[in-house]
């Protein structure tokens, strides 16, 4: 037991050194994040200028292509319908393969999860320290994500401004083809709505089946972990009883050799009382 404790002390010390190194790495990452933020701001200014130039270029190209678009749009609709049918067949096949792969992955994940839970049962105290450090890292990452969200929101507003300007120019052009476009969009919306209703029904059935399977796997997994923990506690209890039994056996032999037969009965009573206390 002493040797085992020494091994655990060395293991914990190595874990502490690893945590300290990870903390230093996080500090360095914070400095790097500040530098990246400055680079993003410079890059954003360049992107704004490029966006303005691209808007003017798109306006010129749009005027050239609008006549060609009217002639090719009917042919594209026929080709698009054909491609949609082919993609639908391909999507269903991919979904089937994906379900098989997902089932296989779930089984593997279940085995890994059981092994991880067993290790966690033995190393829970040390992991608490590591989890605290992970929480600090998570908070740092969340702060970075919030900053990125703010930057994206500012970028989105700028894009909206450019897009509104561009829409004002495009409005006169769209008026010519608006009626045909509305008709096509109406037919396309009906088709998409039917497809969406069909997919929603398929996804709903799939989710119900997956939920039932997941509940069954979790129940079986919890049962196996519970049996493992009971077995682990019983073996640990047996080891402790054997150690106690050996300890008192050696102590009793030593006292029998040292003291006389007159005090033998008293020593046995004292040993019995000490065992009861323990």
Domain count, the chain: 1
Structure tokens at 135: 């929480």
What is d(CA 57, CA 64) in angstroms, rounded to the nearest whole number?
11
Evaluate whether residue 69 is within a structural domain.
yes
Evaluate whether residue 203 is within a structural domain.
no
What is d(CA 42, CA 114) in angstroms, rounded to the nearest whole number?
49
Evaluate whether residue 275 is within a structural domain.
no
Half-sphere exposure of 8 (CA within 13 A, CB side): 9
Contacts of 170 (CB under 8 A, 6+ apart): 62
Per-residue pLDDT of the chain (278 residues; tens, 9 = 90+): 778 878 888 887 888 788 788 878 887 888 888 888 888 888 888 888 888 888 888 888 888 888 788 788 888 888 878 888 888 888 888 888 888 888 888 888 888 888 777 777 777 777 777 787 788 788 878 888 888 888 888 888 888 888 888 788 778 777 777 877 788 778 888 888 888 888 888 888 888 888 888 888 888 888 888 888 888 888 878 877 777 776 666 555 555 555 444 444 444 444 444 444 43
Phi (first) and psi of residue 21, to 5 degrees: -65, -40
* Cα dihedral sign, 36-37-40-42: negative
Evaluate whether residue 97 is within a structural domain.
yes
Evaluate whether residue 3 is within a structural domain.
no
Evaluate whether residue 113 is within a structural domain.
yes
Listed in order, strand segments (DSSP E) in 53-209 are none
166 within 8 A of 59, measured Cβ to Cβ = yes
What is d(CA 155, CA 160) in angstroms, rounded to the nearest whole number?
9
137 within 8 A of 26, measured Cβ to Cβ = yes
Structural domain span for residue 53 = 11-173
**Four-point Cα dihedral 46, 49, 52, 57, nearest 10:** -80
pLDDT given at position 258: 54
What is d(CA 155, CA 51) in angstroms, rounded to the nearest whole number?
11
What pTM does this model have? 0.30
Evaluate whether residue 167 is within a structural domain.
yes
> At 228, which helix (H) or strand (E)?
helix 124-258
Q: Counting beta carbons within 10 angstroms of the beta carbon of residue 255, is it exposed (0 to 12), middle (13 to 18) or buried (19 or more)?
A: middle
pLDDT given at position 196: 80
Half-sphere exposure of 198 (CA within 13 A, CB side): 8
114 within 8 A of 225, measured Cβ to Cβ = yes
In the numeric block, the tokens 């966690």 are attached to 120
pLDDT given at position 277: 43
Evaluate whether residue 5 is within a structural domain.
no
């Amino acid at each position: 037991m002493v040797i085992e404790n020494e091994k655990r002390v060395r293991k914990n010390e190595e874990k502490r050194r690893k945590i300290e190194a990870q903390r230093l790495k996080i500090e360095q990452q914070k400095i790097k994040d500040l530098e990246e933020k400055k680079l993003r701001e410079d890059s954003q200014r360049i992107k704004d200028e490029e966006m303005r130039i691209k808007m003017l270029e798109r306006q010129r190209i749009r005027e050239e292509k609008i006549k060609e678009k009217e002639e090719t749009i009917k042919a594209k609709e026929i080709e698009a319908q054909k491609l949609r049918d082919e993609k639908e067949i391909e999507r269903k096949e991919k979904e089937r393969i994906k379900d098989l792969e997902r089932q296989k992955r779930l089984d593997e994940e279940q085995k890994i999860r059981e092994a991880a839970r067993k290790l966690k049962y033995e190393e829970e105290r040390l992991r608490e320290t590591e989890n605290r450090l992970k929480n600090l890292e998570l908070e740092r990452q969340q702060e970075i994500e919030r900053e990125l969200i703010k930057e994206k929101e500012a970028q989105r507003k700028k894009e909206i401004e450019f897009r509104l300007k561009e829409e004002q120019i495009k409005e006169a052009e769209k008026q010519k083809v608006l009626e045909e476009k509305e008709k096509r969009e109406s037919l396309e919306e009906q088709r998409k709505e039917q497809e969406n209703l069909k997919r929603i029904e398929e996804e709903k059935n799939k989710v119900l089946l997956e939920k039932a399977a997941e509940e069954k796997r979790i129940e079986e997994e919890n049962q196996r972990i519970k049996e493992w923990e009971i077995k682990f506690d019983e073996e640990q209890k047996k080891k402790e009883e054997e150690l106690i039994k050996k300890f008192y056996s050696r102590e009793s032999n030593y006292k029998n050799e040292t003291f006389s037969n007159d005090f033998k009965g008293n020593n046995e009573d004292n040993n019995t009382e000490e065992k009861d206390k323990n």
